[in-house]
Structure formats: C-alpha cells, structure tokens
Amino acid sequence: MQEMIESIEKITNILQFDNDPQVAKEEEYKPQIKKILVTEEMVVDYVQVSGDDNLIHVNDEAAKEAGFAEGKIAHGTLLTGLAFSAIAELHGHHLDITHVEVFFKRPVYVGKEAEIEVVKSPSEQEGIEKFDFKIKSEAKNRMKLSSEGSVSYKVKNENCDSQNLKRTLMIGWIAKETVENLNGVAVTHLAIDFIDTALNDERPTSTKEEEAIDHKMASQRTNFKGFYGDGLQIYSGFYVLSNPAWRKRD
C-alpha cells in the first residue's frame, strides 16, 4: 500500500508539463499539441516507480548493443503516461480511463524532445469519450512518428486523476515484466481494458499467457490479466515484443 502511495506522488511529478495547462474549449476535435523534453532524470525517476530497469533505458552501451543507434531510449509506457497527462490538461480531469491501445513505431531517445498531439475523436458509446494521440520525436534531424494510440474514458462527475495515475502505474508494471523475459527487448504494441471498479492502494498481481507470432517487427504476444488479492479482476490485455528488425528502424 505504501509503495502505491509513494509511486503516485513520484509519477505525478514525472508527468507534469512545464507550460501552463490550457483546457480546450473551442474546436474540440482540432488537434492539440504539447511538447516536453525527455530528460535522463525523468527516465531514472520512472525506473524507480515502474521497476522497469531494462538496460536499454539506463545504459547507452547496452542500448546500442541491443540495436538502438543513439543509445538510451525512454520507456514507451512513460510516453503513454505523458499522453494521458496531456489529455487531462487539455480536456479536463473528469475522464476515467477504460481502454488504452498504443503502437510503438520508433524509439524516443533520452535527451530528445517529444511532441504529443492529442485529438478528440467521435465516440459511438454514450458516456464515453475517446482521444487519439501521436507522439513524435527527432530522428536524423527531422520529426518522426514514435508512437500512436487511442484512449477511451468514462465521463464522471468527479476528479479522476488519482485513479488514472494508478492505472498509469499498472501499465508501467505490466511492461516491467518484459525485463523478466529478456533484457534489451522492447514492447511494440500494448492494449489494456480496465474494468470499471474503484482502485485501492494494493499492487495487483498478473497472470500471463504467451504465444508466438510471425510478424516482421514482432516475435511474441503475451496476454495478461490483473487481480487484487481477493480475486477481483481489474484489467486484461496484451503486449507484443519486438524483434531485431524493429529495434534497428531509423
């Protein structure tokens, strides 16, 4: 319980933007952009809260040996958390995350600026709002797409920041499990559904089921579910691990 409380305090600081928040009121379906420098301090702090100390995030030489030409890369889940933070700043804090899907196209190197584009998209479900996001970063002297995805939210009459920060931590903890599979491996595709239940300060446990896949950029898919100690299920989803072809993309 104390671990969750301390982690929320730290990740709140990590996922803050320097510029003043501006809530989008006009042209709500127009893309909004936030920019942030991905610093080494930010990545180190994220390692502490997520437990994901994969060497590709903390050691230049290890990252280069794994196929990342410019060295250390930021966690994809850290960047996804920044997208959540941007959506909250731009569109309000009453949105409760229900579904996340993100595709990681290229790495974001530590020390580079990330450009996060958020746009509200039409939702066919009543009481649900959906946002698409793209994250770009500099590669070979021009901005390239690093990741893209979507987030669905249930609209509530209360501040949802605490619940969403817990979900952000859970996503980081799930990705941390890839370190246990193979150091140097990156996640290329992640999807997770959160069951609509109030989250407590307990760290959930996950069950995993792995399956091999045949894809140019990926080698393995892992299906997972998360539970509290009393057996209550709180999420389910999957992640896909990269192969060398993805890691050598420029």
pLDDT, tens digit (0-9, with 9 covering 90-100), for 95-154: 999 999 999 989 999 999 999 999 999 888 888 999 999 999 988 788 999 999 999 999
Cβ neighbours of residue 80 under 8 Å, at least 6 residues apart? 100, 102, 147, 149, 168, 171, 190
pLDDT band at 57 (very low <50, low <70, confident <90, very high): very high
pLDDT of the residue at 24: 47
Question: Facing residues of 137 across strands?
Answer: 114, 144
pLDDT on residue 17 = 61
Q: Residue 206 pLDDT > 50, yes or no? A: yes
Superfamily (CATH H level) for 2-185 = Hotdog Thioesterase (3.10.129.10)
Tell me which of 225 and 217 has the higher pLDDT: 225
Q: Which residue has the tokens 């600026």?
A: 113
Average pLDDT over the chain reads 85
% residues pLDDT > 90 (the chain): 51
On the CB side of 63, CA atoms within 13 Å amount to 19
